[in-house]
Structure 1
Amino acid sequence: MTVHVTRDGGAVDEFARFADRYIKHTDGSLEIVRSGSAQTNKYGAGSWVDVTGDEKQPRHVRLRDWIARMSARVGGGRKQ
């Protein structure tokens, strides 16, 4: 699927290879993973505004998010 990245200045970068995916990192940066290529494209935090396309979430990120959601449900956010 095509991934469109809108940069801070309004320019749009397009990645149109089959199975291109993006990863939003917790520090605010963005990484474009291109199929068939070991090299990735990276955007620093604040240098991109919007992204559309297919999002790739590594397994450990999904597990970490699940643990955070479960701990919030169980009372991880309780005030003492």
Structure 2
Amino acid sequence: MDERTRVSVTSNEELELRDRDVMNLLDQLELYALRVGEGKASQKDYWLFVYKSMKSGLLMTKTMEKYLRYKLHGLGAKPQY
């Protein structure tokens, strides 16, 4: 059984909470990656990587896509739609 089929979402509120948790985790990973990479990667590169990875892995929810587009727009990046 695929792990994704085990997840039961009973309401939009629970889905939004999950998305918020994922967004917070991505923010923390960004800080870690930039610190460890010592400037070898930019925020723009990081968030483009996250966007492309989530989009290709079918992990993207509407809320996540809205959040990631907002982040990318703020960094001057335009993801491939």
TM-score class, shorter-chain normalisation, is under 0.3
**TM superposition score normalised by structure 1:** 0.28
Larger radius of gyration: 1
If each structure's helix is expressed as a fraction of its own residues, which one has the higher value? 2
